[in-house]
Amino acid sequence: MPLIKIETHINADQKLCFDLARDISIHEQSLKRASLKAVSGETSGLLELNEWVSWEEKHFGIVQHLTLKISEFEKPILFTEEMEMGVFKRFKNEFHFSTLKEKTVLVNVLDFELPFGFLGKVLNKLFLKNYVKKLLIDRILFLKMAIENCSEN
């Protein structure tokens, strides 16, 4: 049951951070290397409570599909996306926002688990947790840059 927690300080308003973290086009841009694209459900704009999006992306040379639904939403403090369909046994991604000294603190907590019992646990330990953590860090850094660039304008 891998749990990944990343804290990022962003030089921008909390509301702007909250909104852009839910922006589908920014999410697509942040994971270009995985050829990420929204293919059904909400495919543009900002995700709201109970809305869902199906993502198509490529990892390890295999096209994957992952449908995520916004299951918790407290503007501009928290939103959570949870897997409705996909390769994982469980996938829950929380975004927590707070303000500290005129900066926004984003705490991203991702909890996921592969199916496949013992084999899934081995795959998580050997490489998947590190692979997913790297993807998440890349996404958060892209988001931080996009938000700070938007905030400057």
Residue 66 has pLDDT above 70, yes or no: yes
H or E, element range at 52:
strand 52-59
Which one is predicted more confidently, 53 or 1? Answer: 53
Mean pLDDT of the region 6-31: 95
pLDDT of residue 150: 85
User: How high does pLDDT run on average in the chain?
Assistant: 91
Identify the CATH number of the domain defined by range 3-152: 3.30.530.20
Q: How confident is the model at residue 22 (pLDDT cuts 50, 70, 90)?
A: very high
| DSSP states of 73-131 | EETTTEEEEEEEESS-SEEEEEEEEEEETTEEEEEEEEEEE-SSHHHHHHHIIIIIHHH
Residue 139 has a pLDDT of 93
